[in-house]
Amino acid sequence: MSLPDYLTVARAVSVLFVVLLFVLDFPNHYYWATALFAVAMATDWFDGRIARRRGRTSPLGSLLDPIADKILVLAVLIVLIGEQDVFPAWMVAAIVAREFLVSGLRLAAIERGVVLEARDLGKLKTWAQATAAFVGGLAAAGAFDEVYAVWALVVALALTWISGLDYFRLAPRLLRGTPTDAAAGSGSAPDSAFSSSPASRQTLR
C-alpha cells in the first residue's frame, strides 16, 4: 500500500476511537473526541494532496477513501444526537438517507460499466458535514451555544441534498441506457458526471 492508502485506513480505524471518546465519561472527553476527529479528517486532505502530487491513485484508496469519510462524519453526527442533544435527529436522518440513495445510484452505475465522477459540490458537501460535526463536538463540550452547531448542520443538510439532486437528475438517463449510451449521452462537457474511461474514473462522494 502507498502512503495515501495508509492514511485512508488510519482514518477508517479512527472511527472507533472517536466514538469511544465521545461516549466515555471522563474530563474533557468531548474536546479529545473532537480533536481526534479533526486530525482524522485532516488526513483526507493530505492523502488527496499526496496522490495528486504523485499523479496516481490505487484501487484500494479509491474504494476506501469516500467510505472512510462517510463513516467517520456520519458516526459523529449520529453520536451527537444522543450526546447533549446537539443535533435534531430528523436532520441527521435526512443526511444519512441522501448518502444511502446516492450510494445506491453509484452501485447501479457501476453495474452498467459507468462511473459517476466526484463533483466539486459533492466535495464541498463532505467538508460542510465535517465542519458541522466539528462545531457540534465543541458545542457538546460547552465551548459555545448549540444553536451554532445546528445552523452549521442546516448548511450541511442543504448542500447534501443539493449535491444529491445534481446526481439524481442523471439517474433516468443512466438507468435507461446501456453503458455506452450513458457515457456517450453525457458528451465531453467538463461538468459531466459520467465516465466510462478507467483512466478518468473517480469515486462518487
- By percentage, how much of the chain surpasses pLDDT 90? 42
Domain membership of residue 135 (yes or no) is: yes
Which pLDDT band holds residue 32 (cuts at 50, 70, 90)? Answer: very high
Q: Provide Rg for the chain, Cα atoms.
A: 18
Domain membership of residue 67 (yes or no) is: yes
Look at 159 and 113; give whichever has higher pLDDT: 159
Q: Domain range holding 130? A: 3-200
Domain membership of residue 108 (yes or no) is: yes
Cα–Cα distance between 35 and 170 in angstroms, integer? 38
Question: Whole-number mean pLDDT of the chain?
Answer: 80
Cα distances (angstroms) measured from residue 19 to each of 61, 69, 165: 23, 14, 30
Domain membership of residue 205 (yes or no) is: no
- For position 63, what pLDDT does the model report? 66
Q: Tell which residue, 59, 192, 52, has the closest CA to residue 114.
A: 192
Q: Tell which residue, 16, 146, 35, 124, has the closest CA to residue 75.
A: 16
What CATH number does residue 155 fall under? 1.20.120.1760
Question: How many domains does the structure of the chain reveal?
Answer: 1
Domain membership of residue 68 (yes or no) is: yes
- For position 121, what pLDDT does the model report? 79
Which pLDDT band holds residue 139 (cuts at 50, 70, 90)? Answer: very high
- For position 122, what pLDDT does the model report? 78
Q: Please name the residue that has the C-alpha cell 474533557.
A: 28
- For position 128, what pLDDT does the model report? 95
Cα–Cα distance between 55 and 48 in angstroms, integer? 10
Domain membership of residue 147 (yes or no) is: yes
Residue 82: other Cβ atoms inside 10 A: 12
- For position 172, what pLDDT does the model report? 72
Cα–Cα distance between 205 and 117 in angstroms, integer? 8
Tens of pLDDT along 72-108? 999 999 999 987 889 999 999 999 999 888 888 877 7
Domain membership of residue 93 (yes or no) is: yes
